[in-house]
Amino acid sequence: MRPPGAALVALAGTAALALVPALAPAYYATLMVPFFAYAIALLGFNLLFGKAGLLSFGHAMFLGLGAYGAAVMAGVLHVHSFEAVLCATMLAAAIVAVPIGFVCVRYTGIFFGMLTLAFGMLFYSFLFKFYYVTGGDSGMRVPRMSILGLDFARYNKIEFLAGPFYYYCLALLVAAGVLMWRIVHSPFGLHLRTVGDNARKAEYLGVHVRRCRLVAFVVSAAFGAAGGAILGFRIGLADPELVYWTQSGQLVFMAVLGGFAHFLGPIIGALAYIVLQDQLQSLTPYWRFVLGAILAVVVIGFPTGLAGLADDLRRRFRRSGA
Amino acid sequence: MTALLETRNVSKSFGPLRALEDVSLRFDAGELVAVVGPNGAGKTTLVNLLTGLLKPTSGEVLFMGRSIAGVGPVKLADRGLARSFQLIAVFPRLTVAETIAAAVVSRQKKRWRLLSRLAADTEVERRVAEVADIFGLRRRLDTVAAALSQGEKKLLDVASAFALDPQVILLDEPTSGVSTADKHGIMTTLIAAGKAAGVKGIVLVEHDMDLVAAYSQRIIALAEGRMLADLPPDKFFADPALIAAVVGKPRGR
Over residues A214-242, mean pLDDT? 95
pLDDT in tens, B178-213: 777 778 888 888 888 888 878 899 999 988 888 888
Over residues A93-113, mean pLDDT? 95
Does the pLDDT of residue A122 top 70, yes or no? Answer: yes
**CA gap B88, A95 in Å, rounded:** 39
**SS3 label, residue B57:** coil
Strands A140-141 and B81-84: unpaired
Does the pLDDT of residue A146 top 80, yes or no? Answer: yes
Per-residue model confidence (pLDDT) at position B3? 85
- Neighbour count for residue B163 (Cβ, 10 Å): 29
Cβ-based neighbours of B112, under 8 Å, separated by 6 or more: A187, A188, A215
**CA gap B141, B124 in Å, rounded:** 14
The full set of domain ranges for chain B reads 5-247
B119 and A185 within 8 Å at the Cβ level: the answer is yes
- A38 to A17, A54, A76, A122, A250: CA distances (angstroms): 15, 19, 25, 22, 10
CATH code of the region B5-247: 3.40.50.300
> What percent of chain B is predicted at pLDDT more than 90?
40
**CA gap B88, B96 in Å, rounded:** 14
**CA gap A235, B47 in Å, rounded:** 59
Over residues A75-99, mean pLDDT? 96
Question: For residues A90 and A62, is the Cβ–Cβ distance under 8 A?
Answer: no
Does the pLDDT of residue A257 top 50, yes or no? Answer: yes
**SS3 label, residue B1:** coil
CA dihedral B208, B212, B213, B216 (to 10 degrees): 170
The beta-carbon neighbor of A193 closest among B82, B94, B103 is: B94
pLDDT in tens, A235-249: 999 999 899 999 999
**SS3 label, residue B88:** coil
> What does the DSSP assignment read for A237-296?
EE-GGGGSHHHHHHHHHHHHHH-TTSSSHHHHHHHHHHHHHHHHHHH-TTHHHHHHHHHH
pLDDT in tens, B85-110: 877 789 999 999 999 999 999 999 99
- A4 — pLDDT class (breaks 50, 70, 90): low
> What does the DSSP assignment read for B120-149?
G-HHHHHHHHHHHHHTT-GGGTTSBGGGS-
**CA gap B40, B224 in Å, rounded:** 7
ipTM for the predicted complex:
0.88
> What percent of chain A is predicted at pLDDT more than 70?
98
For chain B positions 185-204, those within 8 Å of chain A (CB to CB) are: none
Is the CA virtual torsion B91, B94, B95, B99 positive or negative? negative
Burial class (CB in 10 A: 0-12, 13-18, 19+), A293: exposed
Per-residue model confidence (pLDDT) at position B250? 45
DSSP-derived secondary structure letter, A136: G
Higher pLDDT, A3 or B115: B115
Q: Which of B161, B156, B154, B231 is nearest to B199 (CA)?
A: B161
Q: Which residues of chain B have pLDDT under 70?
A: 1, 248-253
Burial class (CB in 10 A: 0-12, 13-18, 19+), A159: middle
Q: What is the pTM of this model?
A: 0.91
- A173 to A54, A70, A170, A226, B164: CA distances (angstroms): 23, 18, 5, 10, 38
Does the pLDDT of residue A89 top 90, yes or no? Answer: yes
A188 and B112 within 8 Å at the Cβ level: the answer is yes
**Chain A residues with CB within 8 Å of chain B CB:** 179, 182-183, 185-191, 193-194, 197-198, 200-209, 212, 215, 219
B115 and A194 within 8 Å at the Cβ level: the answer is no
pLDDT in tens, A287-303: 889 989 988 998 898 88
Per-residue model confidence (pLDDT) at position A184? 96
In total, chain B counts a number of residues equal to 253
> What percent of chain A is predicted at pLDDT more than 90?
74
A206 chain-B contacts, CB cut-off 8 A: 74, 77-78, 103, 106-107, 111, 164
- Neighbour count for residue A315 (Cβ, 10 Å): 10
Question: For residues B210 and B29, is the Cβ–Cβ distance under 8 A?
Answer: no
Q: Which of A33, A23, A6, A11 is nearest to A259 (CA)?
A: A6
| Average pLDDT score over chain A | 92
**CA gap B161, B163 in Å, rounded:** 5
Whether chain A has a CB inside 8 Å of the CB on B116: the answer is yes
Chain B interface mutation, best of A201, A210, A214, highest count of B Cβ atoms under 10 Å: A201
Backbone angles phi, psi at B140, to 5 degrees: -105, 10
**SS3 label, residue B50:** helix
Chain B residue with minimal CA distance to A178? B115
- A263 — pLDDT class (breaks 50, 70, 90): very high
